[in-house]
Amino acid sequence: MKNKMQEQRESLPIFPFKQDLIAAIREYQILVVVGDTGSGKTTQLPQYILEGIPNAIVAVTQPRRIAAISAAYRVAEETGTKIGDLVGYSIRFEKVASKNTKLQFLTDGTLLRTCTTDPLISQFNCIMLDESHERSLDTDVLFGLLKRACKQRPELKVIIMSATLDIEKFQDFFDAPVFSVPGRMFEVDVLWQKTIKFQTLKTTFVQRCVETVMHIHKTEEPGDVLVFLTGQQEIERCAKNILDLHKELNYNLVRHRDSVKDMVVYPIYSSLETLQQKAIFEKTPKGVRKIVLATNIAQTSVTVPGIRYVVDCGFVKQKMYDHKTHMDALLVVPISQAAATQRAGRAGRTENGKVYRLYCKEAFQEMSPTTVPEIQRSSLLGTILYLLKIGIKDVLNFDFIDAPDPELVQTGLKQLFYLGAVDKENRLTHLGKIMSDFPVSPFLSRCLISSSQDFQCSDEMCTIVALLSVEDFYIQPRSEKDQALAEEKRQEFYDSSGDHVTFLNIYNAWRDSGYSQDWCRDNFFHYRALNVAKNIRSQLLSAMKQHKLEIYSLTHKQKIPPSCRQPILKSLCSGFYMNTVKKQKGKTVFYPYIASLEGQSTLLFLSPQSSLTKIDQDRLDWVIFNDVQFVTRPNMRITSRIDFEMVKVLFGRVDIKHHKMEEEFQTIREVIDPMHNEEHGLRNEVHSNQVERPVD
């Protein structure tokens, strides 16, 4: 007798094509497979290959960690094996696989890192690039590398999987046939907003989502709801408001009072915990409506069954390279038409459905037809460093499916030069080689190296870098009472230099609690996120040791004493000195230092979450930040106060153009001009024995 899971597998749209797919894979070296989301590409095709291709060792890439993990768990379950045995996964900082593993789900970044020591990816003989339509930066680089590897390894099989029919590009680039799996789509009614400007919608979409969900819950027939939102904060806010309204709801007045009596709300954002709540994938009990609040991840990567109603807010949070700050910023931007179609399609998987679009038809027409590939809208620092590392010297002429803007490549090279990773001829330096070996961004690896070589605080820096590599670990409590309590509890960890040292205090206090889960709950921190940081920290420590970078510790005290701040902040400056800003006196705006000197400038603000918002704003002068998040205005996230002396000496490498500065840059000019007149060029080095001015 077939079990339930076997039945489910055989009911998927891909199942009837099993033998044809195996035959096509046997015949062609590269195959493009297209099929609607939910047809079974990710979970089934790798299993067909294990069955049909002898001695297959399969790698399947995913653009997101959460998708790699959840696919691995699902396939392990379907094959009746333990995770890490036949089926495993490997993501940055975490590998669950063994000698027996024949199928591994990896993020595309992880597969790329494998290529640095094994450019032909010889440990696998079948590589499947999943979610290719997403065109992540790493997938795009893999396209080029795999094309090369195929020429040299005739036995290698490559499968490009995509959810959209827009595949001519792949077909041309790889010169490969396309196998398309017809989807099973039911009709989806599209409901438009009457007239609304994107600008208005942008500031109100969370509330509009709440109202739409309540409308659906009160008036529509049974069926689950999937809401597309932009990120963790928006999702949590939406969840809170929906649950509040639901509490007040009088079911006696609801039209479908007999059929729908209750609701459950599940958020999905890039956090494993929420996806491991299996309830998301299970059938909702009768009389209960499931409301799933998701980021873009539910557009194609994760399929939630039973969805009949989709609410599409029309926006996505996207990485965008900002020419003015020379930084990647997270921006909330309108989605593309292709994305809107994908989102709507999620409503018609099991029966006829409806999509509530929170924008109007005219706005849809104004959307760009497809999403711009990441490679054309992000900083290329990491990618360039990577390509140089694997011996591709002429980055501009690498075989990209869509070449990046040459100007972006130039900027990337320039920034790598500032960091000391490449020389004037764009050749990788010794420092650059070490930097590229670290599984973190070049900015962060530069801080780590400096913290060991120049400032003897590498133990502390490993903690900070680990914490900067995880998602937000602060819990934002829902009730105002808890918010006040959280604020009070966290006061204890606060350091007046800003967020970086505060992070360190938090981690140390958690360490001294014995890495306790209760401690996290009591102090309103995400236990899972801190645990990930702990894991990353130990990997960073071993990477340091591997490169013979000494681990020094400034203090064993739980709370960092003021005397220890300087080395920590200086190490941070050596990686992030491009992110130095100066506050305008009497105002709340900051100017990015280098961008201003190069003639472009944009105003930046402190993020409301920054601990620097708590101090007297007149005391702020120079600040460094980790990144910029743009919602209604560009906010600097994770900030610390620095002393200009800390970075001044680093600016020797910066090629400052003479230009007419506006009046408000007077203060900057006063500092920069004396520097410029110095006879001897400043070197990209900082000496720890310099006389220092304390931050406070």
For residues 60 and 46, the answer to whether their CB atoms sit within 8 Å is yes
Distance of alpha carbon 696 from alpha carbon 629, whole angstroms: 27
> Counting contacts by CB under 5 A, is residue 342 touching Mg ion?
no
For residues 103 and 50, the answer to whether their CB atoms sit within 8 Å is yes
For residues 235 and 318, the answer to whether their CB atoms sit within 8 Å is no
**Partner that binds at residue 35, options Mg ion, ligand CDP, none, CB closer than 5 to 8 Å by kind:** ligand CDP
> Counting contacts by CB under 6 A, is residue 37 touching ligand CDP?
yes
**Binding segment (CB under 6 A) for ligand CDP, from list 40-48, 103-111, 229-237, 614-622:** 40-48
Q: Is the dihedral of CA 177, 41, 8, 220 positive or negative?
A: negative
The first and second tokens of residue 416, run together, are: 């790598």
**Partner that binds at residue 230, options Mg ion, ligand CDP, none, CB closer than 5 to 8 Å by kind:** none
43/574 with CB nearer ligand CDP: 43
Of 30, 32, 33, 39, which one interacts with ligand CDP (CB under 6 A)? Answer: 39
**Binding segment (CB under 6 A) for ligand CDP, from list 37-45, 139-147, 167-175, 225-233:** 37-45
68/466 with CB nearer ligand CDP: 68
Distance of alpha carbon 404 from alpha carbon 379, whole angstroms: 10
Question: Shortest gap between Cβ of 155 and ligand CDP (angstroms)?
Answer: 26
Residue 228, strand partner residues: 294, 312
35/442 with CB nearer ligand CDP: 35
Question: Shortest gap between Cβ of 306 and Mg ion (angstroms)?
Answer: 18
> Counting contacts by CB under 6 A, is residue 348 touching ligand CDP?
no
**Binding segment (CB under 5 A) for Mg ion, from list 42-50, 325-333, 468-476, 512-520:** 42-50
Taking CA atoms, 204 is separated from 235, 315, 418, 609, in Å, by 13, 11, 41, 21
15/198 with CB nearer ligand CDP: 15
13/420 with CB nearer ligand CDP: 13
183/477 with CB nearer ligand CDP: 183
Distance of alpha carbon 314 from alpha carbon 328, whole angstroms: 22
Using CB atoms within 10 Å of the CB of residue 20, give its burial: 0 to 12 exposed, 13 to 18 middle, 19+ buried.
exposed
**Binding segment (CB under 6 A) for ligand CDP, from list 31-39, 134-142, 318-326, 480-488:** 31-39
Q: Contacts with Mg ion in 12-41 (CB under 5 A)?
A: 41
For residues 346 and 299, the answer to whether their CB atoms sit within 8 Å is yes
**Binding segment (CB under 6 A) for ligand CDP, from list 39-47, 112-120, 416-424, 506-514:** 39-47
48/577 with CB nearer ligand CDP: 48
> How many residues lie near Mg ion (CB under 5 A)?
2
**Binding segment (CB under 6 A) for ligand CDP, from list 41-49, 93-101, 535-543, 626-634:** 41-49
> Counting contacts by CB under 6 A, is residue 284 touching ligand CDP?
no
Of 17, 25, 30, 35, which one interacts with ligand CDP (CB under 6 A)? Answer: 35
The helix-helix angle for 137-152 and 108-117 (nearest 10°) equals 40
CA–CA–CA angle 92, 98, 101 (5° rounding): 95
Question: Shortest gap between Cβ of 516 and Mg ion (angstroms)?
Answer: 37
Question: Do the strands 126-129 and 157-162 form a parallel or antiparallel pair, or are they unpaired?
Answer: parallel
> Counting contacts by CB under 6 A, is residue 281 touching ligand CDP?
yes
**Partner that binds at residue 101, options ligand CDP, Mg ion, none, CB closer than 5 to 8 Å by kind:** none
Of 42, 139, 436, 451, which one interacts with ligand CDP (CB under 6 A)? Answer: 42
> Counting contacts by CB under 6 A, is residue 611 touching ligand CDP?
no
The helix-helix angle for 137-152 and 381-389 (nearest 10°) equals 20
> How many residues lie near ligand CDP (CB under 6 A)?
15
Q: What is the largest CA-CA distance in the chain?
A: 86
Q: How many residues does the chain have?
A: 696
Question: How is residue 513 annotated by DSSP?
Answer: T
The first and second tokens of residue 107, run together, are: 């993020």
Residue 354, strand partner residues: 189, 309
43/580 with CB nearer ligand CDP: 43
> Counting contacts by CB under 6 A, is residue 38 touching ligand CDP?
yes
Closest CA to 314 of 190, 478, 438: 190
42/607 with CB nearer Mg ion: 42
Which three-class secondary structure state does DSSP give residue 58?
Answer: strand
> Counting contacts by CB under 6 A, is residue 40 touching ligand CDP?
yes
Long-range interactions of 46-52: CB distance < 8 A, separation 24+: 46/75, 46/103, 46/128, 47/75, 47/78, 47/79, 47/103, 48/18, 48/21, 48/22, 49/22, 49/25, 49/126, 49/128, 49/157, 50/102, 50/103, 51/22, 52/19, 52/22, 52/25, 52/26
Question: Shortest gap between Cβ of 310 and ligand CDP (angstroms)?
Answer: 15
Distance of alpha carbon 474 from alpha carbon 477, whole angstroms: 9
Q: Contacts with ligand CDP in 50-109 (CB under 6 A)?
A: 70, 74
Of 42, 90, 318, 602, which one interacts with Mg ion (CB under 5 A)? Answer: 42
**Partner that binds at residue 44, options ligand CDP, Mg ion, none, CB closer than 5 to 8 Å by kind:** ligand CDP
Q: Which residue is nearest to Mg ion (CB)?
A: 42
**Binding segment (CB under 6 A) for ligand CDP, from list 42-50, 148-156, 208-216, 515-523:** 42-50
62/230 with CB nearer Mg ion: 62
> Counting contacts by CB under 6 A, is residue 274 touching ligand CDP?
no
Which three-class secondary structure state does DSSP give residue 438?
Answer: coil
> Counting contacts by CB under 6 A, is residue 305 touching ligand CDP?
yes
Question: Shortest gap between Cβ of 59 and Mg ion (angstroms)?
Answer: 15
As a three-state string, the secondary structure of 79-134 is CCCCCCCCEEEEECCEEECCCCCCEEEEEHHHHHHHHHHCCCCCCCCEEEECCHHH
- Establish how many alpha carbons lie within 13 A of residue 521's alpha carbon, considering only the half-sphere containing its beta carbon: 3
In terms of DSSP H, where are the helices of 249-375? 272-276, 297-300, 337-345, 361-366
The dihedral over CA atoms of 143, 146, 151, 152, expressed in degrees to the nearest 10, equals 160
**Partner that binds at residue 34, options Mg ion, ligand CDP, none, CB closer than 5 to 8 Å by kind:** none
12/30 with CB nearer ligand CDP: 12
**Partner that binds at residue 12, options Mg ion, ligand CDP, none, CB closer than 5 to 8 Å by kind:** ligand CDP
**Partner that binds at residue 373, options Mg ion, ligand CDP, none, CB closer than 5 to 8 Å by kind:** none
Which three-class secondary structure state does DSSP give residue 460?
Answer: helix
63/404 with CB nearer Mg ion: 63
Task: By CB under 5 A, name the binding residues for Mg ion.
Answer: 41-42
- Binding residues (CB under 6 A) for ligand CDP: these are 12, 35, 37-44, 70, 74, 281, 303, 305
